Amino acid sequence: MLLLFSLLLVLTGLTGTRSLVTVSEVSAKAGGSISIPCLYEPQYTSSIKYLCVGPEWLLCKYVIVTQQTWKSEKRFMIHDDQSRQVFTVTITDLQPQDASYYWCAVERKDPDIKQFFKLSVTTGVPGLHVDNQEVKGFMGEDLTISCYCSNTGESQWCRLGGPCVKGSAGEIDSTSVIINNNHDGVFTVTMKRLRTESSGWYFCASEGLQMPVHVTVEHRPPMTTKVLTTFSPTSESVSLTTVSATSQVPTTVQHGGNSASGVTITIITIIIIVSLIFIAMVNVVILLRLKKRKKSRTPPATTAAGEITYSEVRYKRKKRDTTIRSPAETNEDVTYSTVVIKKKKKKKKPPQTITAEM
């Protein structure tokens, strides 16, 4: 009787329950990572969730637990989104020895509820994979996801715990879905006219393999206006022109970034370049004006034919003419001078004394 009861528990663990839903089999590449969602019912929102590993439920080993009180493997992470009643287990830096059966489980007073999934780890290309398990779309727009598969089985797009679309087209929760199988090794899934209710966990499915994809639908942010100031230099003045540019966010956003610093650097670069151009033009104008002023100071002599002729005039001095002419007859300046001739006074001889001889 005890053996029969144990067998019943094992079978219950293998088949799982509808109170907890997850994927059945996934394939991932060694060195990469994988996220597995486990959807539970609202009455288990505040319950403890955990992941254990092992082919049999009764012998499985705890790996990680929400609100855990002991140290666990750092490569395993668990996140409980109580608003959407789903907890996600992420395994990073996958190793070949990680390939095994795992169990999503929720604690309760009665036997815990659980659901298993099989994980395969390969050193080559996984049998079914996507570029990114986290994608984002915007209200009223379309979103396309590529699912890469190595087999030629039937392609499906399913909502976790909800309906599936098979073939080429269908609908999930009032959202149209189109599946394109025109390329070997890949099929694309396009969700049309996204709504807020379209957010949640989905998965690609082909030949027994599944790959979870989380879709987030948001309102597209308003268009932003960026004002750029450009310089239009002229020969005499500088005029400013304001240019308005609008930027849009792409339809599918998987990686974000801040471009404010890039825009600032671009504006600074433009200002420096324009300033250098303006300085160069001012220098050219100054040189032209100096050249013009130099030409106006020495006007060329022109002939009737318009050619410039140069003449050299030399003045020869005439030989001095000894003939005395009046100042009116000559063009030369005349310097008048007065010459006074002073006569030397003759010295008086002393009177001679005559002596008469007696």
pLDDT digit string (tens) for 40-61? 999 999 999 999 999 999 999 9
The pLDDT > 70 percentage for the chain reads 64
Alpha carbon of residue 59 to chain centroid:
51
Q: Beta strand pairing status for 186-191 and 175-183? A: antiparallel
The two structure tokens encoding residue 180: 């394109």
Q: What is the largest CA-CA distance in the chain?
A: 219
Give the C-alpha separation, 19 to 36, whole Å.
Answer: 16
Tell the CATH superfamily of the 128-218 domain.
Immunoglobulins (2.60.40.10)
Residue pair 94/73 in contact (Cβ under 8 Å)? The answer is no
Give the C-alpha separation, 264 to 272, whole Å.
Answer: 12
Output the pLDDT for position 172: 95
Rg for the chain (alpha carbons), in Å? 54
CA distances from 289 to 235, 279, 324 (A): 12, 16, 59
- DSSP letter, residue 5: H
pLDDT digit string (tens) for 71-82? 556 899 999 999
- 3-state percent helix, strand, coil for the chain, nearest multiple of 5: 20, 35, 45
Helix (H) or strand (E) run with residue 231 in it: strand 224-233
Q: Whose CA is closest to 88, among 134, 43, 122, 132?
A: 134
> Same topology for domains 15-122 and 128-218, yes or no?
yes
Output the pLDDT for position 73: 66
Output the pLDDT for position 263: 65
Span 203-223, average pLDDT? 93
- Only one residue has tokens 């969730």, namely 49
Residue pair 204/155 in contact (Cβ under 8 Å)? The answer is yes
* Range scoring the smallest mean pLDDT among 119-123, 167-171, 260-264, 326-330: 326-330
Output the pLDDT for position 319: 56
Output the pLDDT for position 266: 83
Model confidence at 200: pLDDT above 80? yes
pLDDT digit string (tens) for 134-150? 999 999 999 999 999 98
Model confidence at 1: pLDDT above 70? no
- Going from N- to C-terminal start, the domains of the chain cover 15-122, 128-218, 224-254+263-281
Output the pLDDT for position 110: 83
pLDDT digit string (tens) for 92-127? 999 999 999 999 999 998 899 999 999 999 999 999
Model confidence at 326: pLDDT above 80? no
Tell the CATH superfamily of the 15-122 domain.
Immunoglobulins (2.60.40.10)
Output the pLDDT for position 182: 81
Give the C-alpha separation, 65 to 74, whole Å.
Answer: 12
Span 144-166, average pLDDT? 91
Instruction: Categorize the per-residue pLDDT at 234 as very low, low, confident or very high, splitting at 50, 70 and 90.
Output: very low
- DSSP letter, residue 127: S
Alpha carbon of residue 224 to chain centroid:
16
N-terminal to C-terminal alpha carbon distance within the chain:
219
Output the pLDDT for position 143: 96
Give the C-alpha separation, 123 to 96, whole Å.
Answer: 8
